[in-house]
Structure 1
């Protein structure tokens, strides 16, 4: 990875026609793409909410150039956003690579002043969300993502890191204030009242009114927000969903950690698994070429498998890498009491399970009722059909948030999803 010693003094957004001239001198590009910038082919592929993303191709290969903009791209310049989010993304990627090698794209160059990162071009990878909409059953997703979650969350916490190093890292990422503010409002608060930027499928309005009048739901959503804001357990990806994962049949990579900050371990887990449940509920809207019953079963297996892999790897790391300040071996194993450490592990995992369910529920709600929707539902053109897919997902999400302390296991959750979905189709 290189740093740019000749960067311009002030920020300037890249464009297809200006990128070769501005970045042609960088060895990170020349070495991967080709030394003649005039021979580069540049195309913009950024369809996200925040950033510019370009693929740069040449005779030697290709790279991705990602540049932050000083505003929320989805909304426009009326919503300013600091360029420093690329700084946090860069530092998150380097830590994720160290903690889960091979799970994220390689960073080739970072320019803080221009808020841009040059990284490995993943090909023939596709976005996981698109693959699921297309009905593809990827064989490695549950295992790869469960391992990524366990390794990054455990190894970035006081369970594994030296206390001084973790506190220094916490101080660095604590400055990612504006993106945390987006999450705190758009995920935990705005969906539950008539916020200005909210939107939903019009046919859902009676159910939306019911949810926004649900006192138990709103109290629990705010308890989860309290946990999100106050429990700085580990370095999170912060925006882990199926649009932040790229896949092939053989490989899974996680991208876009610009929302990274220190928060509760269960947040990343719940946000990701919620996206598998949303994909499950969306399947009726993607049956143009035939029934999707096999895909529904696959998605429930992925949700269960991701959690099972996370839990198993977390247990392994607890037993082999628990060298931080929490649950010290000097209190348990070193005193001939390994069962004490196992009791503590069970308690930690039980808490993670309950919190994961709650975070999954609010993620489902915000993706249907808030500002940033997902393509699983949005690509269903028939409004009535879309509403028939979204309504059971909303009810399912409400159950997770309000009843998470009484839900015993993944079989119960997936069984409820099946029941609600079948009732809707009946």
Structure 2
């Protein structure tokens, strides 16, 4: 395995030997490290992830590598991203509530590793959606998580001094921001070296890459992403960063955390439900997915509704930061003025999230890092048909986001595209 200064990457063979003295692991697994069973389960793009099981229980050990795992050592990355992930998880738990993220047992900055709670019988949400599972809690849980973390990490809630100190701490996550800035907002719209797509999409891809309106809007969204440090973002909030059971939802993997626009996390999250919707035709080998399609669109609608309601409640009860001070509104007997300001904030957030959702859809089909919703469709022609629907949908969101007024309009467009392409 790769070495980086005093850093040593763990393996299934060395983990018990090297971490056998850690109180966090001994307490949960048992003191006899020879009885520990270690397996590497990391299937992501960046890191090593181990499940360690012992006579008493289990834990997860996640370790950053000094390069992008998906590409190899030709693409170096700083180990400090584990530092940002650790601090993001601590803040997310404080802001969204205990049980919203995995519990952290130990952090080793030098070895870029985090020991955390083993979530079982949880599965990755994306996998559950591919299997056609209609989970009852995710819209509520994720709407609350997004509203609470985004509001409470912003100048709407935090004191100016506290937020600026936090902003300074996360400002060092430069390399992972650079990945997002390039892989999400730029690379999909030209012939970047690491891009890939289903070959049958060639004509549509050429059309999108020649689309001046689309490219200009994508760069406006990149400008917003880079320049608008509104709140602490998860930075990679998609259905592969969420673990679920029927009655529990946990958000994981916030190593892309930084201060950016509130709408980015929400847009990325909703985009992944819309992509799941368009992928369903590729997963109908064992029967119709009509019910699943309806469930996914309801989830989008309910999630946005929960987000709006919780964000509005926090605005009215926890608006203690430097922005929209109550000394200008409620304390002067002008609660209506505060509500007018809230409407404006939510309206801007809505328009921006639609744009971010559109570029997220494009990068997942045309860029380097694809998602399993489409990739697990073995029939290449069928996969291309599903992806083409999503690409057209994403283009509409990016270019027309300022003229779309409700989530029902967006879901109606998704249904229209799905029906037209099936006709």
Which TM class, normalised by the smaller chain length?
over 0.9
Change (3 A) 1:17 1:411: same
Q: Report the 3-state secondary structure (helix = DSSP H, G, I; strand = E; otherwise coil) of the residue aligned with 2:327.
A: helix
* C-alpha distance in 2 between matches for 1:103 and 1:392: 33
**CA–CA distance in structure 2, aligned partners of residues 78 and 381 of structure 1:** 30
Partner residue of 1:74?
Answer: 70
Query: Which residue number in structure 2 is paired with residue 58 of structure 1?
Result: 54
Q: Which residue of 1 aligns with 2:158?
A: 161
Alignment match, 1:371: 368
Q: Deviations over 1:324-350 (max 9, x none)?
A: 000000000000000000000000000
Structure 2 unaligned spans of 5+: none
For 1:4, the equivalent position in structure 2 comes to: none
Q: Does the aligned pair in 2 maintain the 1:9–1:113 contact within 8 Å?
A: no
Q: How many angstroms does 1:9 deviate by? A: 7.9
Q: What are the equivalent positions in structure 2 for 1:106-117 lying under 5 Å apart? A: 106-117=103-114
> Is the CA contact 1:33–1:60 (under 8 Å) kept in the aligned structure 2?
yes
**SS at 1:66's partner residue?**
strand
- Work out whether 1:319 is the aligned partner of 2:319: no
Q: Could you tell me which residue of structure 1 aligns to residue 385 of structure 2?
A: 388
Query: Structure 2 residue aligned with 1:199, among 188, 196, 200?
Result: 196
| Distance across 1 between alignment mates of 2:260 and 2:246 | 32
**Does structure 1 residue 142 correspond to structure 2 residue 139?**
yes
Decide whether the 8 Å contact of 1:92 with 1:257 is kept in 2: yes
Q: How does 1:385-424 map to 2 (within 5 A)?
A: 385-424=382-421
1:93 and 2:101 aligned: no
CA distance in 2, matches of 1:155, 1:389: 38
RMSD across aligned C-alpha pairs, in angstroms? Answer: 0.8
Q: Which residue of 2 aligns with 1:216?
A: 213
Instruction: Answer yes or no: is the 8 Å Cα contact 1:88–1:176 preserved in 2.
Output: yes
Query: Could you tell me how far apart the structure 2 residues matched to 1:26 and 1:163 are?
Result: 38
CA contact 1:56–1:62 (8 Å) conserved in 2: yes
Match of residue 297 from structure 2? 300
Q: Secondary structure at the match of 2:8?
A: coil
Distance apart, 1:425 and its partner CA: 1.3
- Aligned-residue offset at 1:149: 0.1
1:45 to 41, 47, 71: 41
Q: How many residues align?
A: 419
SS at match of 1:330: coil
Determine the C-alpha separation between the residues in 1 that align with 2:53 and 2:40. 12
TM-fit CA distance, 1:253: 0.3
Deviations 1:352-376 (CA, angstroms, capped at 9, x unpaired): 0000000000000000000000000
Kindly report which structure 2 residues correspond to 1:228-377, keeping only aligned pairs within 5 A, or say none: 228-377=225-374
State the TM-score, normalizing by the size of structure 1: 0.98
* Contiguous gaps of at least 5 residues in structure 1: 1-7
Post-superposition shift, 1:49? Answer: 0.2
| Corresponding residue for residue 130 of structure 1 | 127
* Alpha-carbon separation, structure 2, partners of 1:306 and 1:209: 34
How far the C-alpha of 1:200 sits from its partner, in A, is: 0.2
Q: Secondary structure at the match of 2:116?
A: strand
1:121-164 Cα offsets, whole Å, 9 max, x none, are 00000000000000000000000000000000000000000100
Q: Distance in 2 between matches of 1:347 and 1:9?
A: 50
Q: Is the 8 A contact 1:220 1:401 kept in 2?
A: yes
- Poorly superposed stretches of 4+, deviation over 3 Å: none
Match of 1:187 among 162, 184, 189: 184
Measure the CA separation in 1 of the matches of 2:213 and 2:54.
56
* 3-state SS in 2 of match to 1:79: strand
What is residue 84 of structure 1 aligned with on the other side?
A: 80
